[in-house]
A and B are shown apart, each in its own frame.
Chain A
């Protein structure tokens, strides 16, 4: 009871600034005003055609060619509201598409597109098809094989980011950025996604620091990710490479622990391959296994004897091949951790995104017409 009383007292003091509340009230008033204007405009659209029927025949062709031109995203409430929520400044640059494709009980919808030259940005959504299972629950990820195709060719580079989940509609939104070798022709475009990862599992695991080594052999690896400059500074181990070696492989290298080969690690899970206190730093190496079928993340947290938590100061990532499978390794460093200073505890939040669904979804659409219909 005492705890509850103190907790309530503590949190009673946590309140939003008045300015923040005012801002929301203002937004509500603005939204209401927009709604009122939209209602008036809808009313006007019903009345006006009756009054101008005769004149309309003369300009019919013009109107047709105008109406089949893509309207701005702002004219379609669903897309507009979604884009407004993400970036009001960008909303008007996107052309709403709202065309979908359903396969494997999942509907992919191309919501809106912005194409300029050889660059394209596409907002898409995934949603469980009506009557289908509960796969899309906000925790999915795009996986390999997505792109945009036009008459001039296909996108050659791309990246994607989670844009939001709408619990009301059950839609999971993604923004995909693509680049083609040549400019995209906008008379016919096809956006496709080959597969998605549909489920995420998390676990919390204690890592036993009593197993930490104090002496360990190092090896140089070619990195696929991480900041090698900061790594070299933090660990004081910088691989010396000749100019010739650099010319052969310009990718950065780093000195990491040589503890467990890929062949002894799990291909379909996490393996903590080594822990060591080296030069006043704590190093933790984890093999994430084969990432081609499941994406794995680890967030390591080191707790000191007072219960203070900290995350690592740096990490590097590389790959090792074994039996035709590419194993992904991460090595993390916590700087200035004295092995003799006291009781540290280390735990990791291990997250795996799996549930590989191959749907091969694709949607074709046109961005522009020449206005001659």
Chain B
């Protein structure tokens, strides 16, 4: 196989391999289908354009997780800035009440209904996790869905293992409280 074709095959294989992981992590962090769509595209467009070389599969997986978390942070930062940026903040609040905002919410509801049709328990669990602060959602997702150890999470997120451990404990406690409040334990 020629070099460009090999590269093409490799890109395709990698996109297919990490598509679901990136999308799920993005959704867990930004809590909205449309924002997750945007983050997903940004991560893979960045990957395609940069074409980074990885030492091994672990390195590759860590790169995609880190890229997704960073994109989500940028998203969160810009959303925050527009909320606290003087006159602009009210434009955003106005926009959420606009026709486009209503359409967006309707789309999100349809997405949720389609995904969890017939099983309210999973939908409720996701909703409870969504109530956790962003730093906890990242750790919960990597620990429980991606089966990553505290040490692996600490390396990928560049946080101390002790911080990750504390945040995981706090997240579990907070989640348990929220589940109990919802009568769902």
Contacts and interface: CB of A to CB of B under 8 A. Distances in A.
B44 A24 contact: yes
Interface SS majority for chain A: mixed
A309 B131 contact: yes
B185 to A, nearest CB: 9
Contacts of A175: none
B19 interface: yes
Contact of B40 (A9, A10, A20, A138): A20
B98 to A, nearest CB: 14
A307 B178 contact: yes
A13 B52 contact: no
A138 B19 contact: no
* Residue from A11, A20, A138, A204 having most chain B Cβ neighbours under 10 A: A11
Interface residues of B, number: 60
Interface string B37-78: 100111011101110100000000000001100100110011
A13 B23 CA distance: 11
Nearest to B116: A13
Interface in A34-52: 35-36
Interface in B82-108: 83-87, 89-90, 93
A204 B122 CA distance: 29
Contacts of A4: 144
Determine the interface band of chain A, counting residues with CB < 8 A from chain B. Answer: 35 or more
B23 A16 contact: yes
A225 B83 CA distance: 12
Contact of A299 (B50, B83, B140, B178): B83
Nearest to B130: A309
Nearest to B73: A138
A315 B37 contact: no
Given A227-B90, A307-B181, A162 B84 contact: no
Contact of B81 (A167, A297, A309): A297
Contact of B19 (A21, A32, A168): A21
B145 A20 contact: no
A4 B148 CA distance: 12
Contacts of A28: 8, 11-12, 15, 48
A25 interface: yes
A338 interface: no
B109 interface: no
Contact of A11 (B40, B85, B145): B145
A225 B116 contact: no
A306 interface: yes
A138 B108 CA distance: 30
B45 A29 contact: no
B78 A27 contact: no
A309 B133 CA distance: 10
Contacts of A139: 77
Given A162-B78, A226-B87, A315-B89, A7 B15 contact: no
A16 B42 CA distance: 13
B23 A15 contact: yes
A298 interface: yes
A27 B80 contact: no
21 contacts: A3-B175, A6-B125, A7-B140, A10-B126, A11-B24, A14-B126, A21-B16, A24-B40, A24-B44, A25-B12, A31-B48, A31-B49, A35-B7, A167-B66, A168-B50, A225-B86, A226-B86, A227-B87, A313-B93, A314-B90, A330-B84
Interface of B: 4, 7-8, 11-12, 15-16, 19-20, 23-24, 27-28, 37, 40-42, 44-46, 48-50, 52, 66-67, 70, 73-74, 77-78, 80-81, 83-87, 89-90, 93, 115-116, 121-123, 125-126, 129, 131, 133, 140-141, 144-145, 175, 177-178, 181-182
8 tightest A-B CB contacts, nearest first: A225-B86, A227-B90, A10-B122, A16-B23, A28-B11, A24-B44, A297-B84, A13-B115
